[in-house]
Structure 1
Amino acid sequence: MWNQVQETVEFLKNKGITAPDYGIILGTGLGNLVSKITVELIIPYNEIPNFPVSTVQGHKGALIFGTIGTKKVLAMQGRFHFYEGWSIEKTVFPVRVMKYLGVENLIVSNASGGVNPNFSVGDIMIITDHINLMPVHPLHGKNEDRFGPRFVDMHEAYSNKMIAKMEGISQKLNIPVQKGVYLALQGPTFETPAEYKMVKSLGADAVGMSTVPEVIVAKHMGMTCFGISVITDMGGDDFVAEVSHEEVQKVAKKSEKLVGKLVEEFVKQN
């Protein structure tokens, strides 16, 4: 893994990617946030050594390098999921690459199912913490000390400073946001009514199939993380609606412009 990361980093540096201030992972239906980026480079995943290729509808599969304001950003237009059949190490491989390209601040976004009764479809949720119920841990196996320590402190997986900053930005832009805990399951099935109840009983506010492995690996390497989620469907004690990936994309698309404004202002202000 170490050698593969270094090979990929060297390739991307030679393409012209230098010292990004932010890494951004764009989830389901949120890929068009790249419209906020003044683009310098677009590199399809299938041209990057050792990179997987996204197979999920709505994940375009390209690395975008450019600027937002005066800040350099490196954005993944589409992420990789464990349910696609990649090893857990492969799904988080791009985060390792981002770190060695110079990224210290990681912004992750996703679409999720809400279980908090105070939430509504279309809400934007700042992730304050997570619960990891993925079947394989991204740090499973022999530790590579050059990446980070064997045992990783996760008491502040999502930066409190960044959370407070985004709350201020949302008030300034008059864009309402929720805050909550995100729980990660493997997928690709959406949750059953009983599983939604389990998620809620465990103390989560929303559930999805990504993000947590990426944040764990980012923290392994000492990165600072911020997460934002669009609530695309709701489930709970009394009500679980039928849901499809197309519906999830549709809802995420409606919230896309607001998320884009928030992230754009967030990056510009730091």
Structure 2
Amino acid sequence: MASVAFTAVTAGALFSCKPKGAEAAVSGDAAAKAYVAPGKYDEFYNIVSGGFNGQIGIYGIPSGRLFRIVPVFSVGPESGYGYSEETKPMLNTSHGFVPWDDLHHISLSQTKGEHDGRWAFANGNNTPRLARIDLSTFRTAEILEIPNSAGNHASPFITENSEYIVAATRFSVPLDDQDGDVPINTYKDNFKGSISFVSINQTSGEMNIAFQIRTPGVNFDLSRAGKGKSHGWFFFSCYNSEKANTLLEVNASARDKDFIMAVNWKKAEEYVKAG
């Protein structure tokens, strides 16, 4: 009898949860606010980094609908990305064909400090790369490898009118124009950081490395470009100002505080043009 009663209650519960129609399915306040009817547009798009899958995801808000997975630093068999003659070369690097990466951060193109819906930029954290995704097609349009860099974490951060995106080293390296085969115990002397300023063509979106700034061998983490009164400045957070290269969990946090580095990129432009 106990078994029969349990079955009856379960059946009754299932029956009572069955929606009577489409209106009943969205009759609750939360569901009604999130519901977007087929053929209708969401108010916002959420562009999400995929981490080690090397992709980005495009979600609608408030519906939560997944519209597309965009392969960026990884191949996409569904669309042929990374296999076709047009897209396979984008995954070639100075280290060979690298069809994976750790995609950490996304920045959207801006006009007057507001997102303008033209492009999204993404970083490759392992093999230092930047990618541009065309938001009119939601497809990867371009990938640029960054020299003099390792661990491209402080990237890609953008100025308020999309003049530049920056890519800063998380891990310092011997620079490419020097002898790269040096002992790790000479880290403080021979390993340097770099900040790459990558210009953006305002018509095509094409990326080019405009100039690089050599820095002390600290680890840059995140960055933001100034807006309004602080336009023309970039601000970078860092750690490992100790310039440690062993037991980093201890030695790279020996000091109570690190520092913020401020770069006047307008002035840097002037110096580059002056030679």
TM-score by length of structure 1 reads 0.26
Higher helix share: 1
Which one has a bigger Cα radius of gyration?
Answer: 2
TM-score by length of structure 2 reads 0.25
Q: Which has the higher contact order (CA 8 A, sep 6+)?
A: 1
